[in-house]
A and B are shown apart, each in its own frame.
Chain A
Amino acid sequence: MRELELYFGPQHPGMVGNFSITLKVEGDRILEAIPNPGYLHRGFEKLMELRNWVQNFPFVCRINVIEPDSMEAVYAMAVEKLANIQIPERAKYIRTIVLELGRLASHLFGAWAYANMLGFDTPAQWAMADRDHILDLFEELTGGRVYHIYILPGGVRRDLPDGFEEKVMHFLHALASKLPDYNETFFENRIFYERAKDIGKIKKEEAIEWAATGQVLRATGIKHDIRKIEPYFAYDKVEFDIPTRVDGDAYSRILVIRDEMLESAKIIMQCIEKMPEGKVYERTPNPFKWKIPEGETYVRLESSRGELGLYLVSNGGNTPYRVHFKTPSFNHGLFILPKLLKGASIADVGNIMISLYVVAPEIDR
């Protein structure tokens, strides 16, 4: 059969995000897949070298459009570490709540993308609608729906508004009550099971060797979560499990995502219960005169896609000297994706890509 070159994305219904893959196909089989990023390359890491420590927040949150809070948190953590700032106890709990709400929103968006791509329109619309409730909560808390710029070095921008806790609890209960419906129409649906089972399979050893993180690693049976091995904020004061599966295929990954949503809800409820009173913000110097001592640090946290790291270098000035984000999608999308696509069929390209949870702006930065 003749070998053909096929351009998959960025304008393709099976592609979520600004990303494209060049496929070499023979009939329906993929011989080789070459990911082609760069559609969203804005050079943020370079631009951040020209702006002061606080001015960089609007850039940072735009690196991951779907889950901006973890980006803000990792940058704030790094700045706090270099400047040696201790944040108030209440701010730690609020940050944990915000991060977990962000994780829920991101997972619901992921479920939307997956369901929508495979033609499960009803659960897809439900997931999108539920995500919108979280955006409403964020709007009330921060003033912004998608980008919040709420977490700042020193704590969070302002305290929770009156009655916010009740609204969050109400939302979580409503979401939990919908779970049987989601299971029936999507997660445990026979058609979905047939479609995602044994697709994009990764063995345990391969997952380690290929430096997979997040769901991709946990779906192969490895209990690995930064929230447990190096607890930050209030994660050492709450109880939660790390959901895992053993098969390492697309279906296992989506089930890990579903179970993580329940764990997130558990974490938020505990935080609301245990949150102490007090101030939420430690005053930091005037951002235009703020010089941070010379030094370097690597901080990490568990974002909804896996380990998110930031290598930050200061040379004692009022701007960063070098910023480098270690984003989970970079490795998943550029290294693991082509490996999984080799030998797969064209119809499974979107299936595998979304199951790896790749988000393009995180790759390009």
Chain B
Amino acid sequence: MDEELKRKIEKIYKDTEVEFPERNRMVVKTKKASTLSILEFLKKEGFRQLKAISCVDWIKEGEFELIYHLAPLNSPLHVMVKIRIERKNAETETILKIFENAKVYEREIYELFGIEFKGNPDLSPLFLENWHDLPPFRKDFDTRKYVKKTFDEIPSVEDRNERT
């Protein structure tokens, strides 16, 4: 079944590579433009559940990688559809029309990585409150610097004791 699926995908989508890195895992590397149609194709093939959307910040290459995790119910195969998008003005199309539960994952990625999902009506902050800094999960956001900046102004307990 797996090899047949690979042939089918590579026949329809010329810019797509299909790999099997380990047992029960399939990686589909595709271009941003064909994301929607390939996800729709896979959904018709039985991959009916969107398990999650992951995002990786490849800062050296100047790209974000989005990974759509799909799985069917009746087979152990787990598919990862990967696309790369430019880090500058990062944006891509929402997949809400195909997988409704992408809503919350896209909202999370918008907040933590700053990738804009065009067409998603609700990209309001999920976890953070009054956040004006860089999106915190980007590689160029320095957690330690942020902690120093935010919390160093509070004097340590010893200092406070000395003063009183």
A230 and B76 contact, CB distance less than 8 A: yes
Which residues of A, 275-303, contact B by the 8 Å Cβ criterion?
A: 297-298, 300
Interface size on A, residues (CB 8 A): 33
A209 and B100 contact, CB distance less than 8 A: yes
Q: Mark A243-286, 1 if CB is under 8 A from B, else 0.
A: 00000000000000000000000000000000000000000000
B127 and A230 contact, CB distance less than 8 A: no
Q: Mark B47-90, 1 if CB is under 8 A from A, else 0.
A: 01111101111000000000101000101101010000000000
State whether the Cβ of A326 lies closer than 8 Å to any Cβ in chain B.
Answer: yes
B51 and A208 contact, CB distance less than 8 A: no
Given the complex of chains A and B, what is the CA–CA distance between A45 and B136 in angstroms? Answer: 11
Given contacts A41-B128, A211-B50, contact A298 B56 (CB under 8 A): no
State whether the Cβ of A105 lies closer than 8 Å to any Cβ in chain B.
Answer: no
A326 and B104 contact, CB distance less than 8 A: no
Stretch of A159-167, A330-338, A342-350 with 4 or more beta carbons under 8 angstroms from chain B: A330-338
State whether the Cβ of B159 lies closer than 8 Å to any Cβ in chain A.
Answer: no
B78 and A300 contact, CB distance less than 8 A: yes
A326 and B69 contact, CB distance less than 8 A: yes
Q: In chain A, what residue has the closest Cβ to B56?
A: A322
B127 and A364 contact, CB distance less than 8 A: yes
A37 and B103 contact, CB distance less than 8 A: no
What's the minimum C-beta distance from A340 to chain B, rounded to whole angstroms? 14
Which residues of A, 29-71, contact B by the 8 Å Cβ criterion?
A: 37-38, 41, 43, 45-47, 50
A311 and B69 contact, CB distance less than 8 A: yes
State whether the Cβ of A214 lies closer than 8 Å to any Cβ in chain B.
Answer: no
Interface size on B, residues (CB 8 A): 32
State whether the Cβ of B24 lies closer than 8 Å to any Cβ in chain A.
Answer: yes
A335 and B101 contact, CB distance less than 8 A: yes
What's the minimum C-beta distance from A242 to chain B, rounded to whole angstroms? 13
**What residues of B have a CB within 8 angstroms of the CB of A362 in the complex?**
none
B50 and A321 contact, CB distance less than 8 A: no
Partner of A326, one of B25, B48, B52: B52
Given contacts A298-B69, A298-B80, A311-B54, contact A209 B103 (CB under 8 A): no
**What residues of B have a CB within 8 angstroms of the CB of A331 in the complex?**
101, 104
Given the complex of chains A and B, what is the CA–CA distance between A41 and B49 in angstroms? Answer: 26
Which A residues are within 8 Å of any B CB, using their own CB?
37-38, 41, 43, 45-47, 50, 81, 208-211, 222, 224, 229-230, 297-298, 300, 307, 309, 311, 313, 321-322, 324, 326, 330-331, 334-335, 364
- The contact sample of 14 A-B pairs, CB cut-off 8 A, is A38-B126, A38-B129, A46-B136, A50-B144, A209-B100, A230-B76, A309-B69, A311-B67, A311-B69, A322-B56, A324-B54, A326-B54, A326-B69, A335-B103
